[in-house]
Amino acid sequence: MTGIPQIDVTDVTDDATLLDVREPDEWQAGHAPGAVLIPLRDLPGRLAEVAAMGEGTLAIVCRSGHRSGQATAWLTRQGYDVTNVAGGMQAWQRAGKAMVTESGAEPRVA
């Protein structure tokens, strides 16, 4: 996506808070440690949670970068300091970055 702030997955620090806008079943398959799930369709009604996520730029992630790009564009228009994780969780996994599941199963990108 052009015209929105983006960050390369390799530039996301291990202690960064990520906003994951995928669906719950995708999240359950595997997600970044410390990420917070707010599905894209729920985002408008959960802005207070986004605001409570702390200071600094918030990285937004989905499976491929498309939905997170939409979320980044929309949240930017709402005045939030956000950036899209280019390539999403697919790029995250390819880069060998840590992933977890709540069930303890082997994490994967669904």
Can you give the CATH number for the domain in which 23 is found? 3.40.250.10
Would you state the pLDDT for residue 55? 83
For residue 39, is it within any domain? yes
For residue 102, is it within any domain? no
Classify residue 82 as exposed, middle or buried by CB count within 10 Å of its CB (0-12, 13-18, 19+). Answer: buried
Kindly name the residue from 7, 61, 62, 86 that is annotated as catalytic: 62
Per-residue pLDDT of the chain (110 residues; tens, 9 = 90+): 568 999 999 999 888 889 999 999 999 999 999 999 999 999 999 999 999 998 889 999 999 999 999 999 999 999 999 999 999 999 999 999 999 999 989 999 99
For residue 18, is it within any domain? yes
For residue 46, is it within any domain? yes
Would you state the pLDDT for residue 27? 97
Is residue 83 within 8 A of residue 6, CB to CB? The reply is yes
Would you state the pLDDT for residue 56? 86
13 is catalytic: no
Instruction: Domain count for the chain, please give it.
Output: 1
Would you state the pLDDT for residue 2? 63
Is residue 60 within 8 A of residue 21, CB to CB? The reply is yes
Would you state the pLDDT for residue 1? 54
The whole domain housing 80 covers 6-94
For residue 107, is it within any domain? no
